[in-house]
Amino acid sequence: MVKVGVVGYGVIGQRLADGVALQKDMELVGVADVSPTLAIRALKEKGMPYNFYLGMPENLHMFEELGIPVSGTLEELVQKTDIILDATSAGVGAKNKELYAKYNRKAIFQGGEKNSVADVFFHGYANYEKGLGKQFLKLTSCNTTGLIRSVDCLDREFGIEKVAITIIRRVADPGDYHRGLTNALQIDKAPSHQAVDLMTIMPHINATGILVHTPVTHGHIITVVATPKKKISKEEAIECFKKHPRIRVVRIADGFLGNASLFRYARDLGNPRGDMYEIALWEESVVNSGDDIMYAINIPQEAVTIPETIDGIRAALMMQPDRISATSETNKYLGMGKWIQK
Amino acid sequence: MVKVGVVGYGVIGQRLADGVALQKDMELVGVADVSPTLAIRALKEKGMPYNFYLGMPENLHMFEELGIPVSGTLEELVQKTDIILDATSAGVGAKNKELYAKYNRKAIFQGGEKNSVADVFFHGYANYEKGLGKQFLKLTSCNTTGLIRSVDCLDREFGIEKVAITIIRRVADPGDYHRGLTNALQIDKAPSHQAVDLMTIMPHINATGILVHTPVTHGHIITVVATPKKKISKEEAIECFKKHPRIRVVRIADGFLGNASLFRYARDLGNPRGDMYEIALWEESVVNSGDDIMYAINIPQEAVTIPETIDGIRAALMMQPDRISATSETNKYLGMGKWIQK
Amino acid sequence: MVKVGVVGYGVIGQRLADGVALQKDMELVGVADVSPTLAIRALKEKGMPYNFYLGMPENLHMFEELGIPVSGTLEELVQKTDIILDATSAGVGAKNKELYAKYNRKAIFQGGEKNSVADVFFHGYANYEKGLGKQFLKLTSCNTTGLIRSVDCLDREFGIEKVAITIIRRVADPGDYHRGLTNALQIDKAPSHQAVDLMTIMPHINATGILVHTPVTHGHIITVVATPKKKISKEEAIECFKKHPRIRVVRIADGFLGNASLFRYARDLGNPRGDMYEIALWEESVVNSGDDIMYAINIPQEAVTIPETIDGIRAALMMQPDRISATSETNKYLGMGKWIQK
Amino acid sequence: MVKVGVVGYGVIGQRLADGVALQKDMELVGVADVSPTLAIRALKEKGMPYNFYLGMPENLHMFEELGIPVSGTLEELVQKTDIILDATSAGVGAKNKELYAKYNRKAIFQGGEKNSVADVFFHGYANYEKGLGKQFLKLTSCNTTGLIRSVDCLDREFGIEKVAITIIRRVADPGDYHRGLTNALQIDKAPSHQAVDLMTIMPHINATGILVHTPVTHGHIITVVATPKKKISKEEAIECFKKHPRIRVVRIADGFLGNASLFRYARDLGNPRGDMYEIALWEESVVNSGDDIMYAINIPQEAVTIPETIDGIRAALMMQPDRISATSETNKYLGMGKWIQK
């Protein structure tokens, strides 16, 4: 059993912990953070299903006052694990890396860190083999992770030369008060970092894109104009997407009108927190533009990177030798692709 | 075991079904609706934990095509139950009532129906005894249900003469596309129906209020200016609220900054759909205004009426003789009040 | 002096009236509507700068009670004019057309009507000559009008073969309460009608696109991936856009962060209602995607169609023989292109 | 002619400049700021109707590159004026005060500064006489300014003892990107500073209140529960409000559905920037709560403090001896109260 620790128990960290806890071949040793946030209070109210380690010992009294049991320090957690999933705020991971290196532990960082923090910039489906045995991996960010799923899916079947993307970005997560936008769209300097990141992971593809922030919380939408080696029909593209265990092809006609329908559906499915690990792709969005294929996907920003991060554990610790066997294990324990109709 | 059916499997109906399923002294016979909505598709994807009955037999082919098992007609569901929880769209309940009457079944309607549909306008804490043995009950709406919890709480301990409320109303539920407001506040003609409804349930209190719609989805906030028989201190009021099993007293200082923090917390708690049955009351909002007491509460609109509706089953079927014993049973099975520190 | 009437005094109608009133070679005979809306009340409070004609004589008493002078009926207005700008709600224009035909008057309809209402589907820059002398014109909708400005601009200089667009659509105008979206993105079936409409106006271009509604009010943003006959550099494209009198090239670096910055700027410029006739194009959004050029534009939905509608008057009444002379006149009176630095 | 300078040319500063420019007994010497913001670029594009003075001489090259004429330094502006209206960001005013004191000039600060910056905390209607001849005044903030107008109006006619307010606060101005809230309501610790400020200005009234931030930009809404010395009927209250030149009584029935309707109406009126100096009060919101009177007002946050600030000039420079004569002059030049029907 591979021993895993999660450092940073925020939006991503909580979901990483839950995702690891579902993997039958992994053990979640514990989670770490620095102060009694609402997430920690919820952990306490749930009865401490995970052990908690404290990253800032001077705050111990806060936890004692609240009756939250502390199992040790961050340093102790690191020592007890084979690999750390670092989901701290951007920049903190680079500092924590020294601790992981001190004990010669492996670690996977999230998209907020700089690429230089890691030996490899990683995506479970697109470049699993590059992560094999590496000490430090960095995951693609939420948009890039979902985007690459769809582009890699087409690329492996048809060959893709070029993509031009438009990211309609949700600006905050539900419950965020430290950031937000009110009645405004905001545009970033092009090309968007997601397009650049895609080229880092898939260097044979030319990519560019524009990102626009929108005042919503329930998932980004990305439109993709993909130029294939030879024309792909709409039907072929849809068929290809439908077979991917981390892509859910949905229909407007069935009631999936936008990102908020998907969130509601996930809540009604009983998914914890109403989360979705899969991206959704709207069947009625797929159109040909000359020989290019254009389509729209939904990125559930809170949970979409969890499967690929778990793939990263498999790569770093060489649990499986290749992308197919590794992602299959991750998918099985996360219940991904169950919606695919045989 | 009391047999319960739920008619209308939308936002409220789904939650009523789940709430009834948790009651160890009730049996959920099934749920009914008229077409294969996303909620029904989610029920199917979950493996049909509840039996489904069809209210519009001409749509049977739609269910067959999707492989959704149908256990019978709405009329058959009614015959198999002791009581129906009707959570159909406003106006439909009044029509369905004929069917319930035909088989001499009891029924509880939600707040969207007219008061005249029922024998009694009901709230589990404020007038449980009025519902005892009645055939048709109508629940207070979401805002009124939560508001009355707090006013009844103060009234029973201190005596309340008058309330003036301001309702800051969420305009749509997460996932709603059929209604919405964009960058606008909208004001209704005063007095708001919630104030009028409070007076119907608690006729000894004078109530008025103003309602303003706001473009958010995660819970109404109500401010209440309550005039007591004699001055209540801030501390006494907070103490009183803290003892109520359906009120969660929270603090801004702990990170509960608004309605969205509460939604996030409920998601992180692992509550199905991120729902809350309890209203929240902000400790730092409680202030004296002369002899009056002023405070703010959060109303989680999707789930707040579930406990009082279940209380209604207990009243209509005379399962418990009084409000204390009835609400205790409901609370026990729903896990309400667990956060209260002894 | 050409005599013009405006029928329908809502968001578009008010702006059409103001735009016509600025044309020194046109006379605004009056405006018509059916009831004393806020727009009519504002007209009254301003001292009736325009004569008002009543489209629904049975409502005359309402106007009398409010002291709003009525200059005659809609039918009388039609008789006094050479051309009517019909800005009524979708569908009403088709009915009004009978009245215009009865008196053999010309008319221009807005984008909400079906194409079949008119002899030609019109855009001042792209197909002015097709409108010459025609009786009934229909304007492109707001998004299509602005989109075509930019595509026609590139097409005339470089030749464009194909465009793939993503429309990030504002869902309501400021002050709209009859429609709105709250915390949700909504996707439409592709291809969007704007892409189809572009092909109707510019049949030599292949176009497709995806439209996503967003909960904001201050302008649509469209990203365009345009395939030119031969590669256009980023700099060439920007240069080309900068010369267009109805395109304002702006920079994020200067503070134009999104659609809301543009609205604020227009307010601070002193433009009536904070309106902009011009589309904005972000210099930092322009990127190459292989040989394609990608860019983002802002569409100020309330006012963008005014210039092209006025061009339509010029075409229908053959006031100028060609697009250059006609649009120059319109631009001169509207003050368009003043920001272009020589 | 009184000589006035405006320091800080942002949302408030621009409007102060325009308001002063309308006063026939005042001369606007110029406006000052520190960098070429969009507001300054708009001033340039309009042809420099106001002289510009530079508060940060090291930035002069930026203005030269853009061709924006600079008339001198901030220090020079101060020397040329009798009084400065300081509308800089919170905290900067306190520093600028040293400069004003150095040249023995008078100054009026906006609500963001601490009360201690000034000799008197000022409101044109409520305590004009306290400002007479003072060197440094601080204006009430936007919410407090509008709130006090309504409370002072009732208080002078009927006598008010106590108010409990609920502020439904707009979280950002149109065009703000540095702050915002997305799908969330946020509550502040009670009592709100506006209630406390009201008591500072009107010490004979007991006030408290709760403030909730909402994700909109077009005006705050405040509900007020006012306890009069003796019962005021709804009709008496409305009559009283209707006579106030800075309160516009509007009706939902006429189409004034909320803050966004008012913004649209002001745009359609042709008001510069779509601004309103007046607060609006909804006739249908006025209700009795026992002997108390409850009502709702709209606060147009961008412009509401302009009239009272101009009153402050009149007080500080002793242009008029009392509130009636001073506010009448301000109102006359700003065109306030024209909507009152005789």
- Check if A292 contacts C (Cβ < 8 Å): yes
Domain ranges for chain D, please list them.
2-139+305-334, 142-299
Percent of chain D with pLDDT over 70: 99
Does the pLDDT at position C178 exceed 90? Answer: yes
Contacts of B182 in chain C (CB under 8 A): 171-172, 176, 179-182, 215-217
The tens digit of pLDDT for each residue in C125-149 reads: 999 999 999 999 999 999 999 999 9
Contact status of D34 with chain A (Cβ, < 8 Å): no
Burial class (CB in 10 A: 0-12, 13-18, 19+), A91: exposed
B223-247 mean pLDDT: 97
CA torsion angle B34 B38 B39 B41 (round to 10): 90
DSSP state of C192: P
- B79-128: per-residue pLDDT in tens? 999 999 999 998 899 999 999 999 999 999 998 899 999 999 999 999 99
Average pLDDT over residues C270-296: 97
Q: Is D233 on the interface with B (CB under 8 A)?
A: no
CB within 8 Å: B172 and C182: yes
Q: Do B177 and C181 touch (CB under 8 A)?
A: yes
Catalytic residues of A: 142
Choose, out of C250, C267, C276, C301, the residue to mutate when testing the contact with D (most D CBs < 10 Å).
C267
For C47: left if phi > 0, alpha if psi spans -120 to 50, otherwise beta; the answer is left
How many Å lie between the alpha carbon of B44 and the closest alpha carbon of chain A? Answer: 9
Q: Is B172 in the C-facing interface, judged by CB distances under 8 Å? A: yes
Whether C240 is catalytic is: no
% chain C with pLDDT above 90 = 97
Judging contacts by C-beta atoms under 8 Å, the chain C residues touching residue B176 are: 182, 184
Report ipTM (2 d.p.): 0.97
Q: In this complex, which chains have at least 3 CB pairs below 8 Å with chain A?
A: B, C, D
For C172, the closest chain B residue by CA position comes to B182
Hey, what CATH class is D2-139+305-334 in?
A: alpha beta
Report, as ranges of residue numbers, the positions in chain D whose pLDDT lies below 70.
Answer: 341-342
- Residue A175 has its nearest CB partner, among B39, B264, B269, at B264
Burial class (CB in 10 A: 0-12, 13-18, 19+), C331: buried
D214 vs B contacts (CB less than 8 Å): 168, 185, 214-216
Which of B45, B175, B268 has its CB closest to that of A269?
B45
A183, C218: Cβ pair inside 8 Å? Answer: yes
Residue type, C108: I
What pLDDT, on the 0 to 100 scale, is given for residue C286? 98
In chain B, what residues touch A45 (CB-CB under 8 Å)?
269, 338-339
Query: Is the CB of residue A26 less than 8 Å from the CB of residue A18?
Result: no
- For residue B46, the chain A residues in CB contact (below 8 A) are 269-270
Which one from C4, C142, C247, C279 is the annotated catalytic residue?
Answer: C142
List, for residues B24-61, the tens digit of each pLDDT value.
999 999 999 999 999 999 999 999 999 999 999 999 99
Pairing of strands B247-250, B220-228: unpaired
pTM of the model: 0.98
Q: How far apart are CA D14 and CA B110, in angstroms?
A: 52
Q: What is the pLDDT of residue A14?
A: 98
Q: Establish how many alpha carbons lie within 13 A of residue B325's alpha carbon, considering only the half-sphere containing its beta carbon.
A: 9
- pLDDT at residue B197 in the model: 97
A216 touching D (Cβ < 8 Å): yes
**Residues contacting C235, CB < 8 A, separation 6+:** none
The two structure tokens encoding residue B96: 């369905």
Cβ B223–D210 below 8 Å, yes or no? Answer: yes
Establish whether B33 is an annotated binding residue. yes
Q: Is B256 on the interface with A (CB under 8 A)?
A: yes
Cα separation, D86 vs D99, in Å, equals 12
Chain D CB contacts of A214 below 8 Å = none
Note down pLDDT in tens along chain A; length 342 residues: 999 999 999 999 999 999 999 999 999 999 999 999 999 999 999 999 999 999 999 999 999 999 999 999 999 999 999 999 999 998 899 999 999 999 999 999 998 899 999 999 999 999 999 999 999 999 999 999 999 999 999 999 999 999 999 999 999 999 999 999 999 999 999 999 999 999 999 999 999 999 999 999 999 999 999 999 999 999 999 999 999 999 999 999 999 999 999 999 999 999 999 999 999 999 999 999 999 999 999 999 999 999 999 999 999 999 999 999 999 999 999 999 988 865
**Distance from the first to the final alpha carbon of chain A:** 33
Distance from CA of A214 to the nearest CA of D (A): 9
| Chain C residues closer than 8 Å to A162 by CB | 289-290
- B335–chain A Cβ distance below 8 A for any pair: no
Candidates C161, C189, C292; nearest CB to A164: C292
Using CA atoms, how far residue D65 sits from A66, B285, D48, in Å, is: 59, 52, 16
Residue B189 DSSP symbol? P
Task: Indicate the DSSP class of residue B205.
Answer: S
SS (H, E, C) C255-268: CCCEHHHHHHHHHH
Is D34 within 8 Å of D7 (Cβ atoms)?
A: no
For every residue of A286-324, DSSP letters joined together read: -EEETTEEEEEEEE-TTTTHHHHHHHHHHHHTTSSSSHH
Instruction: Check whether C342 has a pLDDT greater than 80.
Output: no
pLDDT tens-digit series, residues B271-294: 999 999 999 999 999 999 999 999
pLDDT tens profile C248-274: 999 999 999 999 999 999 999 999 999
Q: What is the pLDDT of residue D137?
A: 98
pLDDT, tens digit, for every residue of C11-70?
999 999 999 999 999 999 999 999 999 999 999 999 999 999 999 999 999 999 999 999
Q: Do C225 and A164 touch (CB under 8 A)?
A: yes
Give the pLDDT confidence score for residue D90 in this predicted structure: 87
At residue B341 the predicted structure's pLDDT band, cuts being 50, 70 and 90, is: low
The answer, for B57 touching chain C at a CB cutoff of 8 Å, is: no
Q: Could you tell me if residue C240 is left (phi over 0), alpha (psi between -120 and 50 degrees) or otherwise beta?
A: alpha
- Structure tokens, B50: 């509840």
Measured between alpha carbons, how far is D226 from D220 in angstroms, rounded to an integer?
A: 19
Structure tokens at A2: 């591979």
**How far away is chain C from the Cα of D259, in angstroms, using its nearest Cα?**
8
Query: What is the rounded average pLDDT for all residues in chain C?
Result: 97
Q: Could you tell me whether strands C52-54 and B220-228 are parallel, antiparallel, or unpaired per DSSP bridges?
A: unpaired
Which CATH architecture best describes the domain D142-299?
2-Layer Sandwich (3.30)
Question: What is d(CA C73, CA C56) in angstroms, rounded to the nearest whole number?
Answer: 8
Residue B164: CA atoms inside 13 Å, Cβ hemisphere, count? 29
pLDDT band, very low/low/confident/very high, at C90 (cuts 50, 70, 90): confident
CB contacts of A273 in chain B (<8 Å) are 267-268, 270, 274
The one-character DSSP state at D318 is: T
At residue C199, the pLDDT reads: 98
Residues of chain B found within 8 Å of residue C216, distances taken between Cβ atoms: 182-183
Interface probe with B: pick from D181, D214, D286, D288, most Cβ of B within 10 Å: D214
pLDDT value, residue C240: 98
Q: How far apart are CA D78 and CA D63, in angstroms?
A: 20
Check CB contact of C171 with chain B, cutoff 8 Å. Answer: yes
With a cut of 90, say whether residue C112 has pLDDT above it: no
Chain B within 8 Å of C178 (Cβ-Cβ)? no
Residues B158/B128, Cβ–Cβ less than 8 Å: no
Mutation target to probe the A interface, by most A beta carbons within 10 A, among D182, D185, D213, D214 is: D182
pLDDT of residue B206: 98
For the domain A2-140+305-334, what is the CATH code?
3.40.50.720
Tens digit of pLDDT for each residue in B179-227? 999 999 999 999 999 999 999 999 999 999 999 999 999 999 999 999 9
If residue A57 lies in a helix (H) or strand (E), which one and from where to where?
Answer: none
Looking at the partner chain, which of C185, C189, C215 has a beta carbon nearest the beta carbon of A252?
C189
Helices B305-316 and B142-158, axial angle in degrees (round to 10): 70
pLDDT of A333 reads 98
Give binding residues of A for NAD(+) as ranges: 33
> Which one is catalytic: B142, B216, B286, B303?
B142
Across the interface, whether the CB atoms of B184 and C180 are under 8 A apart is answered yes
Task: Encode burial over A184-203: b for 16+ CB neighbours within 10 A, e otherwise.
Answer: bbbbbbbbbbbbebbeebbe
